[in-house]
Amino acid sequence: MYVPNYNTWGQIAGYFDADGTIVFSDTTNQPYKLSLSLIFVDQSEDQIRNVKDFLRGNGIRTSNILKASKGGARMVAVSEFGAVKEMLGKMLPHLFKKSNEAHGALSYYEGRITGNELFSLFQNEVEAGRRERRERKVPIDVLYKYPEGARLLRELRKDKLRDAMGRYRAKVTPRDFENIREEWLRNKRPMMELAKMYPQYGRTTIRRVLSAGRGYGDVNGKGVVNTADANSDLSHPSESQGSETNSNLAPTA
C-alpha cells in the first residue's frame, strides 16, 4: 500500500504531536546536563521511513530505523544537540499537544531554564494527561542550565583524562633522565640493559626519554617528550655522525 511522503514541517509536527515524544537520556555519566532525543514511533515501517527521509532531506541527522522495545513497532530518533534544537524550532509553531514540552526543551537548550525546571515542566504535562508516565531508574537532579552544565562536563572529562594520563605515564626524575640518556649515548647501553638498570620505568617510558628533543610529551622536570616517537628507531648513532648527531639528541632544557 502506498504511503504518501511528508512535505512540510507542519505535517511532521502533526505526526510528532500524535506518535512522537521527547525523552531524557541516562544521566549516570553526565550529571551536569540533560541530553534530549526526539523519537518517532509507528507500527508501519514505511511510515517511519518517510519521516526519516523527510528529516534527512532537510539536513537533520537521524538514527537508522530501529525496532521499538514494545511489540513490532519501528522507531527513528534524533539525538544530536544541533539537530534536536533545529527540529524543535521548526515544529514548535505547528504543535498543540506537545507544544509545552517542545517550548520547555528549547528553553533548556538555549540556557533559559535549568534541567530540574525542564523535568518539572514535563512532570506537569504528565499530571495534565498530555504526556505518558515513564518510570526512571536514575533520578534526575540537574541544577544547571544547558550551557553551564555542558561546560562543567567538559572540565570534568578533561580532569579525568589528565588524571588517567598521570596514572599511566611514569614520571621520570631529572637525574634518571640524564643518566638513561648518558648510558645510551656515551656508553652505548642497549635497550635491554637500560630496562634492567631502571626497572621502575617501562620500555615505552625509556623510549620517550631517548626520543627527547624530537617533540613534546611528559617527562618530569625536562619539558616534554613526543609519545608519537615511542616506537621510533632508537638504534645508537654511528660514530661517523660525530658531534652533530650527539648535539641533535642532547637533552632539552
Contact call for residues 200 and 175 (beta carbons, < 8 A): no
Other C-beta atoms closer than 10 Å to the C-beta of 55 total 22
Model pLDDT, residue 202: 80
Confidence of residue 212 (pLDDT cuts 50, 70, 90): low
CB within 8 Å of 5: residues ≥ 6 apart: 50, 53, 54
Q: What is the pLDDT of residues 18-34, one digit of tens each?
A: 989 999 876 666 678 99
Task: Tell me the mean pLDDT in the region 156-174.
Answer: 62
Task: Tell me the mean pLDDT in the region 209-214.
Answer: 68
Query: Does the pLDDT value for residue 85 go beyond 90?
Result: yes
Q: What is d(CA 154, CA 85) in angstroms, rounded to the nearest whole number?
A: 20
Strand partners, 71: none
Model pLDDT, residue 171: 72
Q: What is d(CA 120, CA 142) in angstroms, rounded to the nearest whole number?
A: 11
Higher-confidence residue: 249 or 59? 59
Query: Does the pLDDT value for residue 252 go beyond 50?
Result: no
3-state secondary structure of 130: coil
Residues carrying CATH 3.10.28.10, the chain: 9-160
Confidence of residue 116 (pLDDT cuts 50, 70, 90): very high
* Cα dihedral: 41, 43, 46, 51 (round 10): -10
Model pLDDT, residue 249: 44
CB within 8 Å of 234: residues ≥ 6 apart: 184, 191, 207, 210, 211
Pick the CATH number of 9-160 from 1.10.260.30, 3.90.550.10, 3.10.28.10, 3.30.70.270: 3.10.28.10
3-state secondary structure of 111: coil
Model pLDDT, residue 170: 52
Other C-beta atoms closer than 10 Å to the C-beta of 221 total 11
Higher-confidence residue: 250 or 177? 177
Q: What is the pLDDT of residues 179-211, one digit of tens each?
A: 888 888 888 888 888 888 988 888 888 888 887
Query: Does the pLDDT value for residue 49 go beyond 90?
Result: yes
